[in-house]
Chains A and B, each alone.
Chain A
Amino acid sequence: MHVLAQEELRIDAGAVDYLLLALYFVFVLGIGYLARRSVSSSLDFFLSGRSLPAWVTGLAFIAANLGAVEIMGMSANGAEYGMPTMHYFWVGAVPAMLFLGIVMMPFYYGSKVRSVPEFMLRRFGKPAHLVNGLSFALAQLLIAGINLFLLATVVNLLLGWPLWLSIILAAVIVLAYTGLGGLSAAIYNEVLQFFVIVAALLPLTIVGLTKVGGWQGLVSKMSAAGNANELSAWPGSELTGFANNALSAAGIVFGLGFVLAFGYWTTNFVEVQRAMASKSMSAAQRTPIIGAFPKLLIPFVVIIPGMIAAVSVQEMTRFKQTGEGNVDYNDALLLMMRDLLPNGILGIAIAGLLASFMAGMAANLSSFNTVFTYDIWQSYVVKDRPDEYYLSIGRWITVGATAAAVGTAFIAAGYSNLMDYLQSLFSLFNAPLFATFILGMFWKRMTPTAGWLGLVMGTVASLAVFVLSNVGVIELPGQGASFLGAGAAFVVDIVVSIAVSMVTRPKADAELVGLVYSLTPKATRTASTTGEDAGWYRRPGILAGIVLVITIVLNIIFA
């Protein structure tokens, strides 16, 4: 998105817009300052003292994911593919989030671990712990760089500030609040960001829909442009690249819905950490389920503006028909803002975009510093110091990580399509982890050696696909190589884990209570239903059922 002619996108921001934007940053830093006063131990800093209510962690859960890639990338996909993009939300996220809440959260929260790698330590021992800790930390630094780079790119495009200045300024602001207030500051800001993002996108969607004559107007305009097939979500052939309808639907359900989505949502500590910060097992289970409600609705204010842009913004319409012009799909949202929003609401919309990009980076930083401090530093480098020592390490490592992210932002700058880069990172880091996790959680025979060896071999398999496709041995378009890599990592990890388990010694059953499904008594897997967890509307199972029904209804309406 950074190669286009910049003048076309320079938004005409006025004094009021800058004022509203500045006000937002005052609030962001203020929250960091206020949260600092409530941090007295490392558990406060890294897990918010496990004290947050479920609606806060639920919204933070979704805002942490609502970063640059989500907002810009999905509106771009909306402009390019139309309604099939909904699958990234309804098939590719919501079922995995419900699974995380109902099935996996009891093990995460119930075992009182402080991070996903720590779960690996309890289940498989040190080697798997170290492998997972290091690979997670590395992945977070690389992804933080992507978020930082996108943030700076938009500041550069919208406001005309130089790229390097935007990168450093954005890094300093995110550092200021995560370094001061730890996870609480990050989570509280994510909740605020969530509402600012909605306040930015909702008016844009309403104005956009009015402009094209409502939903009916959009339908007739898209049909007139010969894109009527983009109005239904299924079978989504253009998205998957499969010409056969049944194959395409199967690809969406198994490829996107299972391996990729479950890998991302259930083992990614960036997300899981938000649930771990909640105040009870019930609240932890509800966190991803509450997050699923906005996740169902967000596509309406992200994808539909993209679709409107494709029929109403002149440059975009021409680009879609001829592939020519100075814009590309990534600019859909920015072009809509430029064309439709007057000063005032424009400032809030810019604040919303920047908010979303900072949310992504803050989430990377706050999960990185937890894993680095607990799982690497405290476990293997400097052991047995008082808690204050680790709290101060946590603060300092946040500074170090921010500096590193400025570096990795320049790596991200070298990629022309950031979604490709991101997907290759996911296939390297998340797919093998998911395989090891799911096997280890349900199969008590899986041994510690299998734990780390499976992880390593899975990552190697994915890396091999990555290298082969980079040197041109495997020819796959777009993100095809990443999907293949994720699949290879998953299969290799499972096969290696089973084979190694057969010839090595498993842990004693007694050591696996609370970590493996069949060895954990039902009572400890079940959340309480009294006190602050009373009421049917606080039962994770019932909430998940409601989400599932809405998901099915939405899929039928927009089929």
Chain B
Amino acid sequence: MSQSTRRGHTAGAFDIRVIIAALFGIYGVVITVMGLVATSAEDIAKAAGININLWSGIGMLIFAALFLLWARWRPIIVPETQGESSAE
């Protein structure tokens, strides 16, 4: 369990952080675009004067980018040897 003996490959696509980033990336793009092109004055008035689609979209894109960076910076290592990996 010490770090020097840790072998294995990175988890790649099935790192939950990448999946979360993917969903929020798509959500972010869709509603940012909606905020830019498909938001009427009526929609803005409804949301207390805020273009909430645009701002939420930008927020989600930033969030997705941060999660991707985190996953890049600290990838999950999948151990190649089976067995208990408890740290006792």
Contact = CB atoms under 8 A, between A and B. Distances in A.
Interface of A: 16, 19-20, 23-24, 27, 30-31, 34-35, 37-38, 50-51, 53, 56, 188, 191-192, 195-196, 199, 203, 206-208, 210-211, 279-282, 339-345, 348, 527-528, 530-533
A195 B48 contact: no
Given A191-B20, A207-B52, A211-B48, A532 B1 contact: yes
Contacts of B1: 280, 531-532
Closest A-B pairs by Cβ, 5 of them: A342-B43, A211-B48, A280-B87, A344-B34, A210-B48
Contacts of A532: 1, 3, 87
B87 A282 contact: yes
Given A56-B16, A192-B19, A279 B85 contact: yes
Contacts of B38: 343-344
A211 B22 CA distance: 32
B43 A27 contact: no
B81 interface: no
Interface of B: 1-3, 13-14, 16, 19-20, 22-24, 26-27, 30-31, 34-35, 38-39, 43-44, 46-50, 52-53, 55-56, 60, 63, 76, 84-88
Contacts of A279: 85-87
Contact of A340 (B31, B47, B55): B47
Given A195-B24, A199-B56, A199-B60, A342 B46 contact: yes
A191 B14 CA distance: 14
Contacts of A533: 87
B23 A192 contact: yes
Contacts of A211: 48
A391 to B, nearest CB: 16
A192 B16 contact: yes
Contacts of B24: 195, 199
Main secondary structure of the interface of A (DSSP, over half): helix
A20 to B, nearest CB: 6
A531 B87 contact: yes
B47 A207 contact: yes
Contacts of A27: 19, 22-23
A532 B63 CA distance: 25
B27 A348 contact: yes
Nearest to A187: B16
A453 to B, nearest CB: 35
Given A27-B19, A206-B50, A211-B48, A281 B88 contact: yes
Contacts of A31: 16, 19
A20 B30 contact: yes
Contacts of B39: 342, 344
A344 B50 contact: no
A511 B41 CA distance: 72
A37 B44 CA distance: 45
B68 to A, nearest CB: 14
B53 to A, nearest CB: 4
B50 A23 contact: no
A541 B16 CA distance: 27
A345 B56 contact: yes
B27 to A, nearest CB: 6
A344 B57 CA distance: 10
A344 B36 CA distance: 12
Among B24, B47, B63: residue with most chain A CB under 10 A: B47
B34 A16 contact: yes
Nearest to B39: A342
Nearest to B13: A34
A27 B35 CA distance: 24
A210 B86 contact: no
B3 A531 contact: yes
A341 B52 contact: yes
17 contacts: A16-B30, A20-B27, A23-B27, A34-B13, A192-B19, A199-B60, A210-B50, A340-B48, A340-B52, A341-B52, A344-B35, A344-B39, A348-B31, A528-B88, A530-B2, A531-B3, A533-B87
A282 B88 CA distance: 10
B52 A345 contact: yes
B19 A344 contact: no
A341 B47 contact: yes
Contacts of A191: 16, 20
A206 B14 CA distance: 33
A444 to B, nearest CB: 24
Contacts of B87: 279-282, 527-528, 530-533
A31 B16 CA distance: 9
A345 B86 contact: no
Nearest to B22: A27
Contacts of A56: 16
Contacts of B13: 34
Contacts of B88: 280-281, 528
A16 B31 CA distance: 9
Contact of A50 (B14, B43, B85): B85
A342 B34 CA distance: 10
A279 to B, nearest CB: 6
Contacts of B20: 191-192, 195
Given A207-B52, A344-B30, 11 more contacts: A56-B16, A188-B16, A196-B23, A206-B50, A207-B48, A280-B86, A342-B52, A342-B53, A344-B38, A344-B53, A528-B87
B20 to A, nearest CB: 6
Contacts of A50: 84-86
A341 B39 CA distance: 12
A12 to B, nearest CB: 11
B14 to A, nearest CB: 5
B85 A24 contact: no
Nearest to A31: B19
Given A51-B85, A203-B56, A532-B87, A340 B46 contact: yes
Contact of B34 (A37, A207, A339, A343): A343
B74 to A, nearest CB: 10
